[in-house]
Amino acid sequence: MADTVGEITPAGEDPSRRDFIHVATMAAAVGAVGSVVWPLVNQMNPSGDMLAMASLEFDLSKVADGSEVTIKWRGKPVFVRKRTPAEIAQAKADDNADLKDPAKDADRHKPGKAEWLILIGSCTHLGCVPTFGGGDWGGWFCPCHGSHYDTAGRIRKGPAPTNLALPEYAFLSDTKVKIG
């Protein structure tokens, strides 16, 4: 083998050295192209100011029993619903029903705050805003493609794959909640 290589390589040239230069040049070119392309792609991701507005505080005393307030958070609607005992009972009763995206009602609200249901009001199918009171399970109904959600915001029927998402939030006091 060594003899063959010696024969086809012109005297005074080291093939491995030339290969190294080729590989190193290619690697540098790929790195250069990548480092130029990434900023061009990444500029489309959320900008700093968009990320900075990511949390808000909300005063719960404005919401009456059995009603709902829709607030805008990160450009999306958030439903803040004060559930009636009947709605809570109905949601609990369905804990073991045949659910597409199984979840207990207790996991859909903060401990000891069963009356406060806070959800991202964007249908998990294609992002339309469901309306409360429609549908077959007493919860939300999406007008776009007919998804039905129950009183815990769980998907019960229709094309949506998952339950209405829960935003990240915390109670600052009994009447104040911080979303995001």
Partner 1 sequence: MSGHSTYEPKTGFTRWLDSRLPIIRLGYDSFVDYPTPKNLNYWYTFGGILSLCLMTQIITGIILAMHYVPHVDHAFNSVEHIMRDVNHGWLIRYVHANGASMFLFAVYMHMFRGLYYGSYKAPREVLWILGCVIYLLMMATAFMGYVLPWGQMSFHGAVVITNLLGAFPVVGESITTWLWGGFAVDNPTLNRFFSLHFLMPFMIAGVVILHVWALHVTGQNNPSGIDPKSKEDTVPFTPYATVKDGFAMVLFLILFSVFVFFQPNALGHADNYIPANPLVTPAHIVPEWYFLPFYAILRAVPDKLGGALLMFGAIGVLFVLPWLDTSKVKSLRYRPTARVFFFLFVLTCLILGWCGGELPDKMVFQVGATAAGDPIGLNFVWLSRIASAYYFAYFLIVMPVLGLVETPDAVPDSITASILDHSAEKKGLAHAG
Under rule CB under 8 A, residue 63 binds partner 1: no
Buried b / exposed e over 21-55, threshold 16 CB at 10 Å, is: eeeeeeeeeeeeeeeeeeeeeeeeeeeeeeeeeee
Binding test (CB under 8 A) with partner 1, winner from 77, 88, 89, 171? 77
Cα distances (angstroms) measured from residue 171 to each of 96, 118, 121, 178: 28, 11, 19, 6
Question: How many residues of this chain interact with partner 1, rule: CB under 8 A?
Answer: 29
β-pair type (148-150, 155-157): antiparallel
Cα distances (angstroms) measured from residue 101 to each of 29, 57, 95, 133: 48, 29, 11, 21
Whether 145 sits among the annotated catalytic residues: the reply is: yes
* Given 22, 109, 145, 148, the catalytic residue: 145
Under rule CB under 8 A, residue 110 binds partner 1: no
Under rule CB under 8 A, residue 44 binds partner 1: yes
Per-residue x/- track, 114-153, partner 1 (CB under 8 A): -------xx--xxxxx-x----------xxxxx-------
Which residues lie near partner 1 (CB under 8 A)?
41, 44-47, 50, 54, 70, 72, 74-77, 121-122, 125-129, 131, 142-146, 159-161
Supply the residues annotated as catalytic.
145
